[in-house]
Amino acid sequence: MPDEHNRSAWIREQPGLTALALLSALLALFVLLPYLQFVLFGVVLAYILFPVQERLEQYIRPTIAAITIVVATLLIVLIPLIYVITIAVRQALDVVNSINQGALDVATIEDALEFNGYAVDLVELYQSNQDRIATGLEQLAMGVLDFAGSLPSLFIGLTITLFILFALLRDGKRLLVWVQWVLPVDDTILDELRTGLDQLMWASVVGNVAVAAIQAVLLGVGLFVAGVPAVIFLTVATFVLTLLPLVGAFGIWIPAAAYLAAVGRVTAAAAMVVYGLFVTFSDSYFRPALIGQTSAYNAAIVIVGIFGGLVVFGAVGLFIGPVALGGAKLVLDCFARERTGMPTPDAQREQTTPRAESAPAAAESETTLDTADATAETELEESEKTNADTDTENRSED
């Protein structure tokens, strides 16, 4: 196998074939772009379910195992997910229609607010912001119509997702070996990048989503017990907001508690505040336990990656966006390290910290050794003195 220098020289000596390879890769990317978010969704599902595939391959053939997982994913994950999102959209539209048609008893809410010391004219507040509310409702309606019009494309996209999931489950290892063989990058660097990307995928896809799902379910149960309307919609909204480190479940349970207080259920509102704080602060336990510490995955990368990923990749950008930014940092770290021959600043700090911590221990060890030596010398002197006294007494007796 040629070394890295020979491979780089070969690429320069074969410009035509190199250009043809780049053109082929570019054309393949253009083919993937229309359904890129569904392809990436399939990649995310394959990453999550691959351990199950490995476990099933111990008992049945890889193809049968992959088909079983794809069918189970369709029945247990995708269809219930589409059903829950449909209910959430319907509940959101029902709330908007109730506000629009005046189905809510505004006078009762105003009386409850005034009883609690907040005098608010909701009708005047609505009229002063009527244009903005109308614009928002129009955008929401257009979004629903666009979603309904894109159902055929959504069906095709989900079909692509399932085929990508099947192919990666069955042939994922061979694909990784092929990619590592094709890329003109040193194998050690590729192994390092693969390990780093695996940590990023775990942090973003498994850890972050699991934390959001746990908190959304917890708060959804609390909202249901408290009797807050549109529970499914609020639970889905909690899941989305909890993915953002600076927002979290605050954006849901605070308005819910305000609603309960406004309708006169002060005890339920207080209980919602206590329960909401519990759900929010559970983030400080679940997130480190599931995600851990990854230098390429911090709050800035999460926030920018989520919002940028939503714009570029669609809904799957919630998970892929942070991974893309964190992966870019890993690649740039490897590039700079190979160019300069020096480790990254994080690695330098990790190397310096143990030395600083070991210095006091070494000094304490030296002090202990010195004390032990002095004690041994003192004991030796006393022993010699005792022996000398004994010899003197023996001579006197003689």
Task: Note the pLDDT tens digit of each residue in 258-272.
Answer: 888 877 788 888 899
How many domains are contained in the chain?
Answer: 1
Give the DSSP per-residue string, 253-272: HHHHHHHHHHTT-HHHHHHH
What pLDDT, in 10s, does the model give residues 54-94? 999 999 999 999 999 999 998 988 888 888 877 877 777 67
Q: At what angle are helices 130-149 and 151-182 packed, to 10 degrees? A: 70
Q: Report the C-alpha gap between 322 and 287 in whole angstroms.
A: 15
Is 389 a domain residue? no
Question: Tens of pLDDT along 172-211?
Answer: 889 988 888 888 788 888 888 888 888 888 877 777 778 8
307 neighbors 325 (Cβ within 8 angstroms):
no
pLDDT score for 185: 81
What are 283-331's pLDDT values in tens digits? Answer: 777 766 665 555 556 667 777 888 888 888 877 887 888 888 888 888 8
Distance between start and end Cα atoms, the chain: 91
Which whole number is the average pLDDT over 241-266? 80
Whether 343 maps to a domain, the answer reads yes
Tokens at 203, concatenated: 């942090």
Domain encompassing residue 308: 298-358
52 lies in a domain? no
Helices within the chain (DSSP H only): 4-13, 15-32, 36-56, 62-73, 79-101, 106-115, 122-128, 130-149, 151-182, 187-201, 209-226, 231-242, 250-262, 266-281, 283-291, 299-313, 317-340, 345-397
Angle, helices 266-281 vs 250-262, to 10°: value is: 170
pLDDT at 68 (0 to 100) = 94
Domain-embedded: residue 348: yes
**Residue recorded with tokens 């539209």:** 93
Query: What CA–CA distance (Å, rounded) separates 138 from 99?
Result: 14
Q: Is residue 233 part of a domain?
A: no
The verdict on residue 144 lying in a domain is no
Residue 396 within a domain: no
Given a contact cutoff of 8 angstroms between Cβ atoms, the answer to whether 153 and 28 are in contact is no
Say what the pTM is. 0.66
